[in-house]
């Protein structure tokens, strides 16, 4: 158990809909990362927050947004969903930013299926 909690574990929805994925980081971790894992794109970095502020942005679509709340949990909002958005979405947390040598602790992911 990494200490990172993601909900829901599985989600099935239709094209055009909007969903929210939730992540609770490990106790004490200020950084939260979102990654998308799909068969054709591999593990893609979406966005990182540190103590409520956006710190780094990756290949995140404009239809996607995220935020980190004062209690440090984070939400990833996916809107106008397309079939290609079907993927496993991982949240990770760390004390020190991964790019600066910190270890990332991953949740078990939220599997999104868009029909």
| Nearest distance in Å: CB 50, other proteins | 7
Residues within window 32-71 making contact with other proteins, judged by CB under 8 A? 33, 35, 42-43, 45, 48, 50, 55-56, 58
Which residue has tokens 């290949």?
A: 59
Give the interface segment with other proteins, choosing from 14-22, 28-36, 66-74, 78-86 (CB under 8 A): 28-36
Strand order in the sheet with 64-68: 5-7, 19-24, 74-78, 64-68
Interaction of residue 103 with other proteins, rule CB under 8 A: yes
Asked whether 43 and 58 are in contact (CB, 8 A), the reply is no
Interaction of residue 3 with other proteins, rule CB under 8 A: no
Interaction of residue 4 with other proteins, rule CB under 8 A: yes
Residue 108's region, left for phi above 0, alpha for psi from -120 to 50, else beta, is alpha
Interaction of residue 98 with other proteins, rule CB under 8 A: yes
Which residue ranges make up the site for other proteins (CB under 8 A)?
2, 4, 31, 33, 35, 42-43, 45, 48, 50, 55-56, 58, 90, 92, 97-101, 103-104, 106-109
């Amino acid at each position: 158990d990494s200490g990172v909690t993601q909900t829901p574990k599985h989600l099935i929805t239709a094209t055009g809909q909007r969903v929210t994925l939730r992540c609770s980081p490990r106790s004490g971790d200020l950084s939260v990362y979102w990654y998308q894992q799909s068969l054709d794109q591999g593990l893609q970095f979406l966005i990182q927050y540190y103590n409520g502020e956006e710190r780094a942005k990756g290949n995140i679509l404009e239809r996607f947004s995220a935020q980190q709340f004062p209690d440090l949990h984070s939400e990833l909002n996916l809107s106008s969903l397309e079939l290609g958005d079907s993927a496993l979405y991982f949240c990770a947390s760390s004390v020190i930013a991964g790019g600066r040598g910190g270890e990332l602790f991953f949740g078990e992911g939220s599997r999104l299926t868009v029909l």
